[in-house]
Amino acid sequence: MDILGTIIHGLNLAAIYGLMAIGISILWSSVGMINMAHGATFAVSGYAAWIVAGAAKPLIAAAFGKTLMAKLAMAGVTVGAGTLAGALFGAIIYLLAFLPIHDKPNFAVRSLIVTLAINLATVQILLWFFGPRQRGLPKLFGFGKFEILGVPIRYDQAGAILSTAIILGLVLFWLRVSRKGLEIRAMMQNPEGAVLSGISVRWTALPVTMLTGALAGLAAILLSQTIFVSPTAGALPLIKGLTIALLGGLGSVPGAVAGAVVIGFLEATVGALPFLGQRYVLFAQFLFIITVLIIRPRGLGGLLDETRE
């Protein structure tokens, strides 16, 4: 087993899964909703990026030819379309799964059921429009590889790791310094105290759902560099995001980051072992998560035992 190569692969997986897990954790800790439509957001963003990239490709080729500027423009269009689609789908989730029921009893359970229904309906709509055929997105980072200390690293792996680090850094910076970010952090730390301070849950939830939707859209673009877009493409990232959020401690952003790193390395390691392989990846991951939660019910950083009333 190539240890350094496995580390790079683990970081690549951690970067993509972390975007999903952090979105789930932020949404739960700020507005008390577990978004089961996160996978649908992933799939919708992938298809939106595929449609826009296909429409823009001839225009970009006519304007820039086959130059570096054309590649940068195509990458910007693809990422922008996927991220914007994720944010808009997050706004739809806000309108359907939060706004009508946020002040009703058992909101957490109600919203879970509504978002699950949105997820199932969205998958069926995508199957009806596009069929089960998989679609490929443009390669944002090109083809090929380079070496660091003798370890070959693919362009898409390096691009995913660096892009995720930059995006998460910007998100955390925005949460720390902006007024709306401070309101979201107040909701994450003490929802009741934030409401008593005059922060509106209704209007704070909208940027949260759009932000987490945009993160899911970005995850779709990055993961689609190695897999294809399909109506059910968001199922596995949703499962991974939820399990990583639970492992890290539901509602803890640092815990979600730590959980993504651990699960990413575990998947890369188990998949690289010749006597295990990809068949046992999910088994090993769930066994590890169950063991951790038995020993430490609050997760790696967590709020699992601080249930909302």
CATH number at residue 141: 1.10.3470
Alpha helices in the chain (DSSP H): 3-31, 38-64, 68-93, 107-130, 155-177, 179-189, 191-196, 201-223, 235-248, 253-272, 281-295
Question: Residue 30 carries which side chain, given as an amino acid letter?
Answer: S
Specify if 236 maps to a domain.
Answer: yes
Q: How many CB atoms lie within 10 A of CB 240?
A: 25
Predicted structure pTM score: 0.84
| Domain count within the chain | 1
Specify if 300 maps to a domain.
Answer: no
pLDDT in tens, the chain (309 residues): 567 777 887 888 888 888 888 888 888 888 888 889 988 999 999 999 999 988 888 888 888 878 878 888 888 889 899 999 999 999 999 999 988 888 888 888 899 999 999 999 999 999 998 888 888 888 877 777 777 777 777 887 888 888 888 888 888 888 888 888 888 888 877 777 777 777 877 888 888 899 999 989 988 888 877 777 889 888 888 888 888 888 887 777 788 888 888 888 888 888 777 777 677 888 888 888 888 888 877 777 654 444 444
Name the residue range of residue 70's domain. Answer: 3-295
Give the gyration radius of the chain's Cα atoms: 19
C-alpha triplet 77, 166, 82: angle, nearest 5° = 30
CA dist 88 and 102 (Å) reads 19
Residue with tokens 């959980």: 259
Establish how many alpha carbons lie within 13 A of residue 260's alpha carbon, considering only the half-sphere containing its beta carbon.
31
Specify if 309 maps to a domain.
Answer: no
Specify if 36 maps to a domain.
Answer: yes
Specify if 83 maps to a domain.
Answer: yes
Specify if 304 maps to a domain.
Answer: no
From residue 274, give the alpha-carbon distance in Å to each of 9, 20, 277, 279.
Answer: 16, 29, 6, 11
Instruction: Judge contact between 46 and 54, C-beta under 8 A.
Output: no
